[in-house]
Amino acid sequence: DVKVTQSSRYLVKRTGEKVFLECVQDMDHENMFWYRQDPGLGLRLIYFSYDVKMKEKGDIPEGYSVSREKKERFSLILESASTNQTSMYLCASASGGVGSEAFFGQGTRLTVV
Amino acid sequence: QQQVKQSPQSLIVQKGGISIINCAYENTAFDYFPWYQQFPGKGPALLIAIRPDVSEKKEGRFTISFNKSAKQFSLHIMDSQPGDSATYFCAASKRQGGKLIFGQGTELSVKP
């Protein structure tokens, strides 16, 4: 079974804190993604990576950064958390090419107070 | 700018009925159209997907209908069951395994 594991299910952080969300996949997938999920907005892409040390901005990258030092691990960083970053964060991984599909982690519910 | 628009936002169907969720896209470069199912407390999971070279794909009770000229696709759930109650997302991508653009989601409730 493909497994995408996010380090925390629930997090509560204070405004201005630096926040790290970790994601690990065990299927040797090249591609990894970070989305945030908000009611009525669906899933919106924050950042993605098609290779180690490679990153590309998604649709809503402002206030976020990412790190991919190893193939299996993709970290999302909130440099200075704000209340409007309270959301559900979902990590996904996929191999490239025909026949591949994206597998999602269980999500991290982040609350910034 | 919402590249993939999904409707309705919520849907209530009686057990045994047909659930229909619609999506429309703008970018003609999209080449892969999956549907994801999400249960509370879980991440989304792939339900069924289609490429634009076919007009319909069926897997069990789930069918995708695809209209390339109208840039629309829809999910039909036949004989809907209470266990189908979940949030459904359509998505589009320029290639499989690439970044997905999601619709807004539909919360389906199937009443016994």
Tens-digit pLDDT profile for residues B30-52: 999 999 999 999 999 999 999 99
Shortest alpha-carbon distance between residue A79 and chain B (Å): 24
For residues A101 and A2, the answer to whether their CB atoms sit within 8 Å is: no
- Is pLDDT at A2 greater than 70 in this prediction? no
Per-residue pLDDT, A100: 79
CB contact under 8 A, A35 and B45: no
The list of chain B residues with pLDDT below 50 reads none
- pLDDT-based confidence at residue A32 (cuts at 50, 70, 90): very high
What percentage of chain A has pLDDT greater than the value 90? 88
* Average confidence (pLDDT) over A2-19: 94
CB contact under 8 A, A106 and B98: no
Shortest alpha-carbon distance between residue A80 and chain B (Å): 26
Asked if A57 has any chain B CB less than 8 Å from its own CB, the reply is no
Q: How far is CA B50 from CA A98, B30, B106, in A?
A: 12, 11, 19
Per-residue pLDDT, A96: 76
pLDDT digits (tens, 9 = 90+) for A72-99: 999 999 999 999 999 999 999 998 777 7
Per-residue pLDDT, B2: 66
Per-residue pLDDT, B97: 83
CB contact under 8 A, A105 and B43: yes
Tell me the chain B residues in contact with residue A33 when contact means C-beta distances shorter than 8 Å: 99-100
* Torsion angle, alpha carbons of B51, A50, B43, B84, to 10: 0
Per-residue pLDDT, B34: 95
